[in-house]
Amino acid sequence: MHEWSIAEGIVTVLLESFKDQKVLEVEIKIGELRDLNIEVLG
């Protein structure tokens, strides 16, 4: 599943970026036109 590979890469980068903070949830929405909406909750 290609979308899962994209999401996994995004989460890896986000966790590295926020490594000094506790990340409780990462919500990724990929739209029909490859729109990307990322929300990080900590």
How high is the pLDDT of residue 1? 56
The residues spanned by each domain of the chain are 2-41
Global pTM reads 0.53
- Tell me, what's the pLDDT at 23? 80
Q: How far apart are CA 14 and CA 2, in angstroms?
A: 19
Q: What is the pLDDT tens value at each position of the chain, 42 positions in all?
A: 577 787 788 888 888 888 888 888 888 777 777 777 777 777
SS3 content of the chain, % helix, strand, coil (to 5): 40, 30, 35
